[in-house]
Amino acid sequence: MKQEAHDISALEAVLGHRFRNPATLEQALTHASYARELESQNAAAGIRVQEIDNEQMEFLGDAVLSFVVSQELFRRFPEYQEGELSKLRAHVVSARHLLRPARALKIGRYLKLGKGEERSGGRNKSALLVNALEAIIAALYLDGALEQAHRFILQAILEPELAELHKHGTRKLPVTDYKSALQEAVHASGRPQPRYVLVKEEGPDHRKMFTMEAHVPPSPGGEDGFVRRGEGGTKKLAEQGAARKAWEYLQSLQGTSAALEPGAASGPSEEP
């Protein structure tokens, strides 16, 4: 327990906030695998108590993050249209960019994980780190009100990302949400909206792998419809992979560069 208290104090120092209720921060760091494992141990001893985890706090933290970033972008870029602000916000709060501050804070070393998650390298998993970061934002909001959460989001997330974007011109954003990019591209080409289909789900619960297909319908001008596949550790990641390949293929059909520049395209589009 002493080591755990020391760890929490060290994280508080990095966050710049001393929690009046340290249990709030501890909940933000408690993965569901740890809570369920503890419940099983208690049940074996005849004790039935529901243990808390950080999943609800992720939900709140995501909302607080979105609000603060929206408020700041609205204030800082009055010349931007709604669509530009939405794309910029999506870029800043994307999992890809939240991973950087999550790693900088060394959140992984503070997580409470079940044994299975620990063995599978949970302390380094991108999804767990990003989810915990959002839960920590919720903890700051609950313990220190919006002011504390706002300060942290600006210092750790928004300011560094805007500084990076400023080097390239803020309007030239890399694609971070390929589903949205694909939706805009098919709309511009007059096609109906794409459809996503789960093709395959395999592996144990702690290492699931999903395969999704993006089905893009034919265009009114007679261009054929097509299908692209993507894989990922979650359905959302698999959908993004499929959407990326479909989006890249549409760009090749149009023969022009997209208004957004892909930030992490890897290789040519694959035929289904």
Tokens of 108: 């992984």
Question: Mutual orientation of helices 95-104 and 159-166 as an angle, nearest 10°?
Answer: 120
Q: How far apart are CA 227 and CA 245, in angstroms?
A: 9
Tell which residue, 68, 73, 69, has the closest CA to residue 84.
73
> Is 202 a residue of the active site?
no
> Is 7 a residue of the active site?
no
Encoded amino acid at 225, one letter = G
Q: How far apart are CA 28 and CA 77, in angstroms?
A: 32
Question: What are the CA-CA distances from residue 181 to residues 58, 89, 176, 246, 271 (Å)?
Answer: 25, 14, 9, 10, 20
Length of the chain: 272
Q: Which helix (H) or strand (E) holds 228?
A: strand 226-232
Encoded amino acid at 115, one letter = K
Tokens of 206: 């702690």
From 26, 37, 58, 62, active-site residue: 62
Encoded amino acid at 251, one letter = Q
From 58, 117, 134, 239, active-site residue: 134
The catalytic site residues sit at 62, 134
